[in-house]
Chains A and B, each alone.
Chain A
Amino acid sequence: MSELLRFATAGSVDDGKSTLIGRLLFDSKSIFEDQMTSVADASERMGLDAPNLALLTDGLRAEREQGITIDVAYRYFATPKRKFIIADTPGHVQYTRNMVTGASTADLAIVLIDARKGVLEQSRRHAFIASLLRIPHLVIAVNKMDLVDYSEDRFNEIVEEFGSFAAKLDISDLTFIPLSALNGDNVVARSEHMTWFEGSSLLHHLETVHIASDRNLIDARFPVQCVLRPQTEEFHDYRGYAGRVASGVFRSGDEVMVLPSGFTTKIKRIDTFDGEVDGAFAPMSVTLLLEDEIDISRGDMICRPQNQPTSAQDIDAMVCWLADETVLSAGSKLSIKHTTRTARAIVKNLKYRLDINSLHRDESAETLQLNEMGRVSIRTTLPLFFDEYRRSRETGSFILIDEATNATVGAGMILGET
Chain B
Amino acid sequence: MGCGETIAIFHLQCCGGVVAELAKACGTSLPFLPLFWNGCVVNYELSHLKTLESESIHIIREVAAEFERPVLLFSGGKDSIVMLRLAEKAFWPAKIPFPVMHVDTGHNFEEVYEYRDRRVAELGIKLVIASVQDSIDSGKQVEQKGPRASRNQLQTMTLLDGLEEHGFDAAFGGARRDEEKARSKERVYSFRDEFGQWDPKNQRPELWSLYNGRHLRGEHIRIFPLSNWTELDIWQYIAEDGIEVPNIYYAHEREVFERDGMLLAVTEFVTVMDGEKPETRTVRFRTVGDASCTGAVESDARTVQQVIDEVSATRVTERGATRADDRASEAAMEDRKRQGYF
Contacts and interface: CB of A to CB of B under 8 A. Distances in A.
Interface of A: 1-4, 32-35, 38, 41-42, 56-57, 59-62, 64, 70-76, 78, 82-83, 85, 97-98, 100-101, 104-105, 212, 215, 217-220, 225-226, 228-232, 234-235, 238, 240, 242-244, 248-251, 254-255, 271-275, 277-279, 281, 283-285, 298, 304-307, 322, 335, 337-338, 340, 393-394, 397-399, 401, 406-408, 411
Nearest to A88: B184
Contact of B182 (A59, A234, A275, A406): A59
Interface residues of B, number: 74
B61 A225 contact: yes
B320 A218 contact: no
A341 B320 CA distance: 42
A76 B178 contact: yes
B136 to A, nearest CB: 30
A179 B89 CA distance: 45
A272 B93 CA distance: 9
Contact of B57 (A42, A59, A244, A275): A244
Contact of A307 (B28, B51, B177): B28
B334 A60 contact: yes
A38 B330 CA distance: 8
A contact patch SS = mixed
A226 B38 CA distance: 25
Interface in B202-256: 203-210, 212, 214-216, 227-228, 230, 232-233
23 contacts: A4-B52, A35-B317, A38-B320, A61-B334, A73-B185, A76-B178, A76-B230, A78-B230, A101-B205, A101-B207, A230-B93, A230-B95, A234-B93, A238-B93, A243-B61, A251-B29, A273-B88, A273-B92, A278-B36, A278-B37, A283-B55, A285-B54, A337-B212
A212 B44 CA distance: 8
Interface string B176-214: 011011101101000000000000110111111110101
B65 A304 contact: no
Given A60-B200, A78-B232, 14 more contacts: A1-B45, A4-B48, A34-B320, A59-B182, A71-B201, A212-B45, A217-B44, A219-B28, A228-B92, A248-B31, A272-B89, A273-B89, A283-B54, A304-B28
B315 interface: yes
B15 interface: no
B314 interface: yes
B35 A279 contact: yes
A3 B45 contact: yes
A406 B215 contact: yes
Given A32-B320, A57-B184, A74-B177, A228 B91 contact: yes
Given A1-B1, A229-B94, A249-B44, A285 B177 contact: no
A358 B330 CA distance: 43
B321 interface: yes
Contacts of B210: 337-338, 397-399
Nearest to B2: A1
Contact of B316 (A34, A304, A408): A34
Nearest to B312: A78
Contacts of B233: 83
